[in-house]
Structure 1
Amino acid sequence: MSAVEQQVETPERIDLSKQLLVAMPGMVTGSLAGTVIYVCEHNENGALGVVINRPTDMTIGDLLQRIELELTLDLEEQQRAVFFGGPVQTDRGFVLHAPAGSYSSSIALGEMALTTSRDVLQDVAGGKGPEQVLIALGYAGWGAGQLEDEMSQNAWLNVEADAKILFELPATERYHAALAQLGIDPAMLSMAAGHA
């Protein structure tokens, strides 16, 4: 059976790439509870995303100095937070940015990209990086079928990603803003979701 025939027979698998996942209260626990995740890649092998609403105590300036990059970035940009991107490879940096540019080690996401290479950080340190940047340590990952299973259990809501939510809103407002795109008031969410 060809891959095309197989895809036709399994229409329940939807591609969540370039969408936001919003953790449902009481359904997602541990380090991903209360998170909004930008899904960078989702295919039959699994999914990879970056948490966009969990700033850490580390600043961009701190991170760039730790990796010994010379800073000519303005002070306000240096003070922006580095985010907890997820529980996988928390010692590794992931840069979600727009415009996509031509950096090595990038996953193209339309007008955005996820880059893991040092060259994007060198540009950021020099004040000539992409216009919009979210730097995270670690990522959220799912094995084959795992995210689909969690979606079927109502653990996550999904909504089209909005650059304003990703890059402009304060981190504390991103969860509510993602839900608002779905027309949902967070106060209306039950701690225990069920199936109708």
Structure 2
Amino acid sequence: MPNIGDPRFEQAVILVCAHDASHAMGLRLNAPHTELDLDQLLQSLEVTGRAPGGTRPVLVGGPVETERGFVLHSDDYCDPSASLLIAGGLAVTATREILMAMTDPMRAPRRAVLAMGYAGWGEGQLETELVENVWLAGEADDDILFGGDHETKWARAMARIGVDVAHLSGDIGRA
């Protein structure tokens, strides 16, 4: 929402990947890294090969552990010891093996995006922020999660839940 008050999350589209009574973890999916793309990252990690589909951005997944990579991907790739399965045919894996798989057409997940860092919430924090209308929630959509038009993802996500961004206000109140 416009009143979030934290520039790191202005117009953020975040997929909540894990949520329980003690914490929540999510990946921001509409903030491309300005100084790094996937090919550069793979080269710096000495991962041979290139990810199919041409140059792809690395996303800024959130302000926590910004040096750690998290790959959000379709669950057709799954490492039972390292992948966190999410509803809707999605998984998150944070290992070098997923990066190597992304460069191998025989092992690569059908859809994948790499994010550096994540968004995290402590016990009850996300729930409180939802009650205070800091965030709006909707169902995941593959085009928004994996699509490349990052500048319109927030508006498209809002439209998907029936919100016209032209009518949003940063003012808080209760009817």
Common fold: TM-score over 0.5 = yes
One-letter amino acid of the counterpart of residue 159, structure 2: A
**In the alignment, is the contact (CA less than 8 A) between 2:73 and 2:90 conserved in 1?**
yes
Distance 1:100 1:92 in 2: 23
- Note if 1:94 corresponds to 2:73: no
Partner of 1:129: 108
2:134 is equivalent to residue 155 of structure 1: yes
With the length of structure 1 as denominator, give the TM-score of the two structures: 0.82
State the partner residue of 2:96: 118
Name structure 1 gaps, 5 residues minimum.
Answer: 1-23
2:169 to 164, 177, 190: 190
Name the CA distance, whole Å, in 2 between partners of 1:73 and 1:181.
30
Range that drifts further, 162-171 or 141-150: 162-171
TM-score for the superposition, normalised by structure 2? 0.92
Q: Distance in 2 between matches of 1:29 and 1:81?
A: 23
- Count of aligned residue pairs for this structure pair: 171
Instruction: Structure 2 unaligned segments of length 5 or more: list them.
Output: none
Residues in 1 aligned to 2:103 and 2:115: alpha-carbon distance in whole angstroms: 15
| CA RMSD after TM alignment | 1.4
Determine helix, strand or coil for the equivalent of 2:84.
Answer: strand
> Deviation per CA, 1:135-167, whole angstroms, max 9, x where unpaired?
000000000000011111110000011112111
Q: Which moved more, 1:100-109 or 1:147-156?
A: 100-109
Of residues 85-94 and 109-118 in structure 1, the stretch that sits farther from structure 2 once superposed is 109-118
Is this contact kept in 2: 1:95–1:115, CA < 8 A?
Answer: yes
Q: 1:73 to 1:158 in 2, by over 3 A?
A: closer
Paired position in structure 1 for 2:17: 40
The 1:194/1:100 distance shift into structure 2, 3 A limit, reads farther
Would the aligned equivalents of 1:27 and 1:193 in 2 still touch at CA under 8 Å? no
Taking every aligned residue pair, what percent have the same amino acid on both sides?
38
* Greater radius of gyration (CA): 1
Deviates more, 1:65-74 or 1:176-185: 65-74
